[in-house]
Amino acid sequence: MRRLSLALAASALTAAVAASFPAAAFQIDPLTREPLVEPQYGRPQATPVPRQIVAYNGGHAPGTVVVSTSERRLYYVLGDGRAVRYGIGVGRPGFTWGGVQTVTRKAEWPSWRPPAQMLRRRPDLPRFMEGGPENPLGARAMYLGSTLYRIHGSNEPETIGEAVSSGCIRMVNEDVIDLYERVKVGTRVVVQR
């Protein structure tokens, strides 16, 4: 009886939360049965890789960004043996890379000009896209050195945890906004294979 009462209470709470938002503003997460409220910067972006503060002893200074392409995780080093861990999408086979770069520029809702190499592979791509929810760079971008690579948001959250990009590091918009607020121009970024 108590289990039934808890289930009814949870169902009533979900219904109450759902009723407080316009019908188009949320979806129900199929795993948790909780409403996914549409964020102000695009559609809901659930990810199977939740952002977490984890134990981290990688030997990097606080403020360093460490990308582990094999794990498909990005760590923002906090210090004191801790880091914020994010799920990421990485370069597909043939587009993986490693090394040390520096964040040279940051942009909110960046516009996108596919590089010439990408246009040769995909002539169907637009030559320019204004920033916004449909832009493949998502809500934020951090440009890495003089490379063509960026750490950026994505309008394809299902690609997080996958190897599908042309070398850029993808994050769901909620996570890239969180990282963007932590990272400064000049931040060291270590990309490990």
Predicted TM-score (pTM) of this structure: 0.75
What is the number of structural domains in the chain? 2
In this predicted structure, the answer to whether residue 79 has a pLDDT above a threshold of 90 is yes
SS3 sequence of the chain: CHHHHHHHHHHHHHHHHHHCCCHHHEEECCCCCCEEECCCCCCCCCCCCCCEEEECCCCCCCCCEEEECCCCEEEEEEECCEEEEEECEEECCCCCCCEEEEEEEEEECCCECCCHHHHHHCCCCCCCECCCCCCCCCCEEEEECCCCCEEECCCCHHHCCCEEECCCEECCHHHHHHHHHHCCCCCEEEEEC
Would 120 be classed as within a structural domain? yes
Between residues 116 and 188, which one has the greater pLDDT?
A: 188
In this predicted structure, the answer to whether residue 28 has a pLDDT above a threshold of 90 is no
Please tell me whether residues 31 and 95 are part of one structural domain.
Answer: no
User: Is 152 among the residues known to form the active site?
Assistant: yes
pLDDT in tens, 101-131: 999 999 999 998 988 888 898 989 888 899 9
Percent of the chain with pLDDT over 70: 75
In this predicted structure, the answer to whether residue 1 has a pLDDT above a threshold of 70 is no
Please tell me whether residues 103 and 173 are part of one structural domain.
Answer: yes
Would 139 be classed as within a structural domain? yes
Please tell me whether residues 19 and 98 are part of one structural domain.
Answer: no
State residue 117's pLDDT score: 86
Would 44 be classed as within a structural domain? no
Please tell me whether residues 95 and 20 are part of one structural domain.
Answer: no
Residues 152, 157, 174, 175: which is the catalytic one? 152
Please tell me whether residues 98 and 21 are part of one structural domain.
Answer: no
Would 56 be classed as within a structural domain? no
User: Is 60 among the residues known to form the active site?
Assistant: no
CA pair distance 158, 162, nearest whole angstrom: 8
Would 59 be classed as within a structural domain? no
pLDDT in tens, 93-107: 999 999 999 999 999
Would 68 be classed as within a structural domain? no
Burial-class residue 164 by CB neighbours within 10 Å (0-12, 13-18, 19+).
Answer: middle
Please tell me whether residues 94 and 186 are part of one structural domain.
Answer: yes
Residues 74, 151, 168, 172: which is the catalytic one? 168
Range of the domain at 32: 2-37
Residue 114 sits in a domain whose CATH number is 2.40.440.10
